[in-house]
Amino acid sequence: MRNVQLKPDNLQVIAQVLRVDPGEITGVSALKTGMTNRSFLFTCRGRKYIMRVPGEGTGRLISRREEAAVYRLIEGRGLCEDVLYFDPDSGYKISRFLEGARTCDPLNPQETAACMKKLREFHRLGLKADHGFDIFERIDFYESLWEGRPSAYHDYRRTKENVLRLKPFIEAQAGEKALTHIDAVPDNFLFYQNERGDEEIRLIDWEYAAMQDPHVDVAMFCIYAMYGRERVDGLIDQYFPEGCPVRTRIKIYCYIAACGLLWSNWCEYKGRLGVEFGEYSLRQYRYARDYYRIAADGLEQIGGRAPCTP
């Protein structure tokens, strides 16, 4: 972390929320910049807080009013960070800092098992929101933000056509929708000790959360962690300790392909704004391409069909 100066309007917001003088806001430092936002740690009257400030181009990607509705829906359920302030117009958010918290290590099977247990408990609540997250609509929307410029990948059109071939199987297998985090990645699972000394997990950053097939969250964890096939199957098994049906496993492979293309298109848009994600961006595109083939092979084995474009 490095010390920084918050902009005057940010300081004024904090002062109003905490009802303090701006001079009492000290120790401001930049946390690791997220892929969508910037976050700042600061101290006020001996307590630490985090202020989130939306990043470049975020206003075109996220509805802060929908995000605010999600936080109201999950409030008091022990799922998320302790949010003190949320502005649905600016996207500014202030929350209490969880002292000693750490993010999930995606290579630690004990931690990933605990995260999948937490995730399934959340999904089983069956919470209902008034808005959804359509993966295929978002793929097209992020592509539209390129404003007619071609993809950086020469075989993009073929890859997209292949991913779209998976849509009928996904829709047939999706089942009942519920509030889904959408961005349930290792960095958004925080392990910490509560006041009793017991370890708890909180899931943070609900800005993409919406109605969807909850199994999308398993796919999202995998592609952000940049898992290979063996770890993907291992995580699916952790989410389904009773055993995962073959069609459900193939459906999650389909989600990996579709979500890989989704975030690849998102990265291409952000890249046009000067924000680069390096290997992450390339790996998302590879998930789209490679997991189409894995899903198609699975469909053939169960008598389904998703032919590959020549």
What is the average pLDDT across 74-92? 92
E strands, 177-240, are 178-180, 189-193, 199-203, 210-212
Mean of the pLDDT values across residues 93-107? 93
In DSSP terms, which residues pair with 53 in a beta bridge? 38
Q: pTM (2 decimals)?
A: 0.90
- Per residue in 270-301, pLDDT (tens digit) is 888 887 788 999 999 999 999 999 999 999 99
* C-beta separation of 254 from 295 below 8 A: yes
Name which of 244-248, 262-266, 303-307 the model is least confident about. Answer: 303-307
Contacts of 245 (CB under 8 A, 6+ apart): none
Give the chain's domains with CATH numbers: 2-96 (3.30.200.20), 102-301 (3.90.1200.10)
Cβ atoms within 10 A of the Cβ of 72, count?
Answer: 12
Does the pLDDT value for residue 308 go beyond 60? no
Helix axes 279-301, 216-225, angle to 10 degrees: 130
173 pLDDT above the threshold of 90: yes
Average per-residue pLDDT in the chain? 91
CA distance 251 to 218: 11
